[in-house]
Amino acid sequence: MRQQRLRPVLLLIGLLSFLVPHSPGYGGGAMAPFARIVPSAAAAAPTTPEARLRDAVTKRVTTVLRLTSDLRLTADLPAVTCPNLTVTGNCRTVKGRSRRCKIDGRKRFAGFFFMREGNLTLSNLEVTGFASKSGKDNLFVRSVGGAITVRNCLFTKNSGGVIDVTTGYGLKVEGSSFVRNEGGVINVAYSTMEAKDVLFQANTGVTAIGLVRTGLICRRCVFENNTAQTQAAAVGVGSAGSIRFSRCRFIGNTVTEVGGRGGAVIVQGSYGQFCHCQFERNTIKVAGGKTRIEHVYLNGGLGDFCEKVPSTGVNFDVGEAKVNCKSCPSA
């Protein structure tokens, strides 16, 4: 009776054995189980520009990422864990010419965030659409303890700040432009900043560069038509910092709040050096809606000028402005 019940089952097993493909690669019998299953997409290498960027940010080893196309973020970038990260744009125009690769924050998302020592180098990029909303600083770069280097980049139409560095090994910017950003551009505290051949143009809100206990060396930089809607100037330096400008131009910068000082530069309890610099049409707003020329304001600070102190526009309550060319670079 039991044999009769098992007979149909045995017949079915026998029939299925003829339907299973055979291969000599698995003991001469049926193919190995799961041999044809394709690995999941999660295990594959990232292919989209954004996925490649996210992967590079979280590497644990030195990483160089070369972007070849623009990208628009779909979420905040993760915190940077890569100890030495370089992101370089290598995009092309339709005619094959080299151009910057664009990273767009879509006015919603945050960029690189360091919470420890680390090196970040950015080159040949156009950065746009990073914004600060709901009290969250969606800066493109925020570093606490790292070293940041920026070369040949354009930062435009960002709001709420672009680069923020607190302590660490400082910020270096070369051959780059900051144009039409809102709410300030760069803030550096308890660190250093070097800028060479950098343009700050038509930025609005607060200072283009805000410094607290930070040293700044700026060579061949241009500050043009920046508007500070607070009491701060285009460049403001707090106490115990020092600023050194060489062959820089300050043209058409203004402070629009009544009582604000330093249309171009304000030095508070610190030292400023201006070597072969040009000052034109920098203004502050005074009572009655009028404006007056003010290039540099020394609030308890000292200012050295080479080759001469501007005849107008250098003011101070407590401080001193004098001619001094001793430590100015020759070029």
- Residue whose token pair is 């910020």: 171
Which residues have C-beta within 8 Å of that of residue 134, sequence separation ≥ 6? none
Indicate whether 221 and 163 sit together in one domain: no
How high is the pLDDT of residue 273?
93
What is the number of structural domains in the chain? Answer: 2
In a domain, 303, yes or no: yes
Other beta carbons less than 10 A from residue 151's beta carbon: 16
Whether residues 307 and 177 fall in one domain? no
Give a yes or no: residue 129 inside a domain.
Answer: yes
How many Cα atoms within 13 Å fall on the side-chain side of residue 140? 32
β pairing state of 283-285 and 291-293: antiparallel
Domain housing 198:
191-331
The backbone torsions φ and ψ at residue 183, rounded to the nearest 5 degrees and listed phi first, read 80, 30
pTM: 0.83
pLDDT of residue 138: 59
Q: Judge if 155 and 239 occupy the same domain.
A: no
156 and 66 within one domain: yes
Transcribe 36-49 into DSSP letters. TPPPPGGGSPP-SH
Instruction: Determine, yes or no, domain membership for 2.
Output: no
The pLDDT of residue 143 is 82
Q: Where are the alpha helices (DSSP H) in the chain?
A: 2-19, 49-57
Instruction: Assess whether 82 and 137 both reside in one domain.
Output: yes
144: CB partners within 8 A, 6+ apart: 114, 115, 116, 166, 167, 168
Within 10 angstroms of residue 113's Cβ, the number of other Cβ atoms is: 20
Tell me, yes or no, whether 223 and 316 share the same domain.
yes
In a domain, 331, yes or no: yes
Does residue 47 sit within a domain?
A: no
Residue type, 108: R
Residue 38 belongs to a domain: no
Is residue 211 domain-shared with residue 173, that is, in the same domain? Answer: no
Those residues of the chain that have pLDDT short of 70 are 1-44, 115, 132-138, 231-232, 237-240, 331
Residues 328 and 284 in one domain: yes
Q: Give domain status of residue 148, yes or no.
A: yes
Q: State how far the Cα of 207 lies from the Cα of 138, in Å rounded to an integer.
A: 18
* Per-residue confidence (pLDDT) for residue 69, from 0 to 100: 95
Q: Which of 153, 182, 211 corresponds to the end of one domain? A: 182
Last residue within a domain, chosen from 160, 182, 204: 182
Same domain assignment for residues 200 and 252: yes
**Helix, strand, coil tally for the chain in percent (to 5):** 10, 40, 50
Q: Which pLDDT score is estimated for 6?
A: 46
Is 24 a domain residue?
no
**313-319: long-range contacts, CB 8 A cutoff, minimum separation 24:** 313/263, 313/279, 313/282, 315/261, 319/267
Residues 324 and 199 placed together within one structural domain of the fold: yes
Domain limit, last residue, from 182, 211, 233: 182
Same domain, 196 and 165: no
CA distance 218 to 242: 11
pLDDT of residue 221: 96
pLDDT per position as a tens digit, 225-274:
999 877 667 787 666 678 999 999 999 999 988 878 888 998 888 889 99
Mark whether 63 and 154 lie in a shared domain.
yes
